[in-house]
Copies of this chain bind each other. A is one copy, B any other.
Amino acid sequence: MQIGIFGTGMVGRVLSAALVAKGHAVMLGTRDPRATAVRREPDRYTGESFADWTAAHPTVRLGTYADAAAFGGLVMNATSGHGSLPAVQAAGSALDGKILIDIANPLDFSKGMPPSLFVGITDSLGEQIQRAAPKARVVKSLNTIAAPLMANPRALAAGDHTMFVAGDDESAKTTVTTFLRDELGWTDVIDIGGIEASRATESLLLPWARLFGLFGSPMLAFKVVR
């Protein structure tokens, strides 16, 4: 499948490498592809510059947000929370009709660690993105775990933990659930509701961030026991 991914940070890199390894064609979307391609400063999380990373992953394409949206049969938003609406707006009509898996979280680091959320309890980043791209079929998912687990859930507890999908388009959620299961290996996927249920899954970042600080490892996940 052709997959477009917004964002060239850790999440975009980990996901694209994993998806290419599974035989998919990936284009990363960024604001200014020429500038990004030669970026030499180390990534804040991995320490690897984008120039070095892209040299090591030559099959991953790089384009604008609109290019990546047009390229993808499936599009994923892996930007930072603050970068999400600008990315979606830049992609514009290239997102019309596309399934957009929104992975971003509205993390607010302005008060230090652990982060808070800059979108409150009565709205969510997922809803803001759906409103900004009303013809896209937004499915909030994969935002409740760290990048290494997104494409490899079995790396933790043999995959015995839960993933959520939230969105207003039922067939998009079905497609994403199948993608999560067949391409990424998720076995327990719960359809938690419409896009407004992003309020619930984004709020999981509050306990997630505290547990990350406590354990000193991002290899943690929530399982819904029922």
What CA separation (Å) do A199 and B207 show in the bound complex? 8
Question: How many residues of chain A are within 8 Å of chain B by beta carbon?
Answer: 36
A204 CB contacts on chain B under 8 angstroms: 203-204, 207
Inter-chain contact B225/A160, CB cutoff 8 Å:
yes
Q: List 11 A-B contacts (CB under 8 A).
A: A116-B121, A157-B225, A192-B207, A192-B211, A192-B214, A200-B206, A200-B207, A203-B203, A203-B206, A207-B224, A221-B226
What does DSSP make chain A's interface, helix, strand, loop or mixed? mixed
Instruction: Please encode chain A, from 116 to 149, with 1 for each CB lying within 8 Å of some chain B CB and 0 for all others.
Output: 1100111000000000000000000000000000
Inter-chain contact B223/A225, CB cutoff 8 Å:
yes
A193 within 8 A of B: yes
A160-B225, A222-B222 in contact; A201/B193 too (CB < 8 A)?
A: no
Inter-chain contact A190/B211, CB cutoff 8 Å:
yes
